[in-house]
Every structure is written in structure tokens, then in C-alpha cells.
Structure 1
Amino acid sequence: MKKYSYVGISLVILVFGIWVVNEMLSRNSQDSLAYIEINGQRKKVPEFEFLNQNRDTISDEDYLGKVYVVEFFFATCPTICPVMNENLLEVQDEFYGNMDFGIASFTINPEHDTPEVLKEHADELGVKHPHWNFLTGERDEIYELANNGFNIYAQESQNAEGGFEHSGFFALIDQDGYLRSRKDEAGNPIIFYQGSVPRNESSAESHETQQIDMLIEDIEILLK
């Protein structure tokens, strides 16, 4: 009996040891990604609530427990949005079937981009992941979220193609709602990932063309 007890105890210790090592590796890996801080405080996604392409109400709480990517775009954008969405399609395909992953695409032209328009847009793109929401709502709330909530520039402009100016950045959010990013060579967070450069552009030596691959790698780190 004692022999079997020793074997049982040894197995428990071995399993526990493996679990501890895996937990340490996971935490160390996640620690390689920076928290975005403002005035010494970790930046967290503010509360939001909008309608998606299916007319479902989606809020920040729907994304808690998920790693997700945020973009600001508009359906009729003639410049960078098609590239951004193509890049996000590749990200979607990397994590298709993973219910702990999601994407939130906020339109900056809500007057035109109704849920019906966004539904057609998502279908044309080939969106398949159930947690990729195209979100629309009150214009002022969306711009407040973009410019002050995420610090991702968006503005209506008659001088811009399509009538709107916005950055091509993607924001990465962890399971607890905090903005995360990898660090640059100096140890500073890159903050956002450039989404408006084709992932497989021929001049792939450019640092910006590698940022979608970086984003995918960092999503994988947070999902561990």
C-alpha cells in the first residue's frame, strides 16, 4: 500500500510541477507585452454600447474574457480601409474557431453605415468569426471613443478622400480590457499596430509591413 501511495504522490507532484512551469512560461510570455499607461495608470477600454451588423447590442462587457482587435473605419472608404479589412481577414483566419478571440470594427460614418449596410459589407468581405462585430451608433459617441477612448485619430473632413480622415492603426486589447502592445528595441511600447500596409507587400523589408505578423504573434501570446 505504501508503494502505491508513493507512486500516487509522485504523480501528483509531477503534474503539479508541469502546471506550475506552464503557468510561469505563460505569465513570462504575457509580461513581454507592455500595458499602455497614461499618467502612470494602465489604459483600459472605456464603456461602450453600439449596434452590430445583426442589430444586436454589443458592449465592452461582451468582449471581457476575450483578446480582441479594434479598428475605426467606414464602409465607403476609398483609401486605407480596404487594406485594413483585408489584413483583419488574415487575422480572423489565424484565429477562426477560437471563441476567446474577437474583432471590433467601429464605423466613423454612422449616418451611412447602418446595421444593414455593415451586414452587407461584412458579407462581401467574407467575415466568418462570430465575434467580429461591425459597430454603429451615435456619431459623437463613436468619435469620443476613437479620439479620447482609444486615442486613435478620426475626423470628418471635406478635404479627405471619402470625406473622413483617420489613422490606420489597430489596438490590441487583453482579456481584462487593457490596451497592450509589444515593445520596441528601446523597451517602449509601440502602442498601436499599423494596419494600413498590406501584409504581403513586395517591399516586406519595411518594419510596418511586418506589424500584422507582430499582431498575430502577440494575440497568440495573450491567448496562452
Structure 2
Amino acid sequence: MYKKTGILFLVLILPVFIYLGLKTFGTNHFSLPRYIPAIDSTTGEIKMAKRLNPRWNESEMDTVFQTIPSFSLTDETGKTFGSNSLKGKIYVASFFFTRCTTICPKITSQVSRVQDTFHQDPDVQLLSISVDPKFDQPEKLATYAKRFDANKGQWHFLTGEKKIIYPLALKGFHVPLADASEYDAAIKNPDETFIHSERLILVDKEGVIRGFYDGTDKKEVDRLLVEIKVLKSIYTNY
């Protein structure tokens, strides 16, 4: 009798409890690293601050991470594009120049894949920032944007003052950038003049870097596509 009752419980009742348990507690919780901890200039140590853990609704000490500094540049339409436009957005930034014949077309083609994946998602924005701003005026950027079928309002091609763009790349997005002509006036070939990173940088809604990816490598960009979805899931769940 008891044996039959136990078998009946296992067959009929236990699956119901398992289902309810999975439904209640089985939500997947993804994580994605944050990059570039903030350093206390007086002590040289990593800054720490209290943060509310939304999962447990408790405060805990957590690392403070650097955020992308505010900036104001000019887009391919000639309008001012500021970092305020990116508040509450996830975005992918990259550096290029229109005269580049080596890695830039490869990078831009991979950014185009990101656009194709998230073309109906206004929360995902794309920035392509010129490292050759003197030449890359808005009309040059507009022609380049058209070449890659860039979606207006989602994929922004930016230019501006060199004194803003170069520190933004180096100290804000933490990617290497140099103008070799500053050290050797004999260099005339643009491909040899502007030395910049091939990395794509994923930035979250708070302005914190969440990933670096080789923009010339399809597999790396595949990883970026997945991690954008992970980041979106984090915001949805929390």
C-alpha cells in the first residue's frame, strides 16, 4: 500500500513540484564582467562603495568602475552629438577613418553585423569615431555611412576636435591611438599615419565598459552579439 502510494507520488505529484520550483526559482542569472576599476588618486587603491544587490535586496561593498567621460562631437549630418544622447543606452564604440584601406573596412563590416542583429532595438546604439577628424568632415562621414547602409538614429559616425577624440580614446575607452605624423613629418600615407585599435568596446547604460572585442575577427564579434544579449537580459531581470 505505502509502496504504491510512494510510486504514485513520484509519478504524478513530484513533477508538479519540480515544475513549480523551476518556474519560481529557475530564472537564469547571467553575469558580465566590468572593466577598468576606478583608482583613488590619494591612496593608489581601487575605489570601493556600497551597492544594492537587487537579487538579495541587500547592500554590499563593491568595486567602483570608471565610466566613459562626457563628450560632445559632430555626427555625419553636421549636428552635435553628445554623450547625453547615450544615457540609458547600451552602445558599441569603435575607431576608424574614411581614408583607411586596411583594417577599417573590416571593422565597419563587422559593426554592420551588429546593426543587422539589433536593427529594431533603439536601446542598442553604435558609434564609429574618426581618428582623422581634420579630413573626416561630416560630408565624408555621410558618404562612408551610406556605403555601409548605416541606420540613421542608431549608427552614428562622429568627428570633432582632435584634442577631444584622442584623450577620449586613450583615457575614456582605454584603446591605443596615435598620429605618427606628430613624430615623423615624412610620413604621408594615411594608413601609416593613424595608428588605432581594432577593438570594439561594449558600454552599458551606466557608461561602464563591459567588453573588448577584435573588430576584425568574426568569432570575436559573434561573442559581442551574444554578450549584448546577455547585458540586455541582465537589465530585464534586475
TM-score (norm 2): 0.71
Separation in 1 of the partners of 2:76 and 2:152? 13
Aligned to 1:33: 32
Amino acid aligned to 2:204: D
1:116 aligns with 2:139: yes
Higher RCO (C-alpha under 8 Å, 6+ residues apart): 1
Amino acid aligned to 1:145: L
Amino acid aligned to 1:33: L
Separation in 2 of the partners of 1:164 and 1:49? 22
- Cα–Cα, structure 1 residues 21 and 69, in superposed 2: closer, same or farther, change >3 Å? farther
Aligned to 1:75: 98
Return the match for 1:105 from 128, 135, 142. 128
Aligned to 1:195: 215
Deviations 1:179-209 (A, max 9, x none): 112xxxxxxxxxx111123x2xxxxxxxxxx
Divergent runs of 4+, >3 A: none
Amino acid aligned to 1:152: V
Separation in 2 of the partners of 1:110 and 1:180? 27
Return the match for 1:178 from 182, 200, 208. 208
Runs of 5+ unmatched residues, structure 2: 1-21, 40-45, 47-63, 182-186, 234-238
Deviations 1:93-117 (A, max 9, x none): 0000101100111100011100111
- What is the RMSD computed on CA atoms of the aligned residues? 1.9
Aligned to 1:155: 178
Runs of 5+ unmatched residues, structure 1: 1-16, 182-191, 200-209
Separation in 2 of the partners of 1:75 and 1:102? 20
Amino acid aligned to 1:171: I
Separation in 2 of the partners of 1:137 and 1:178? 23
Question: Share of identical aligned residues, percent?
Answer: 30
Aligned to 1:10: none
Amino acid aligned to 1:221: V
Separation in 2 of the partners of 1:211 and 1:56? 32
Amino acid aligned to 1:107: S
TM-score (norm 1): 0.75
Shift of 1:45: 0.7
Shift of 1:61: 1.4
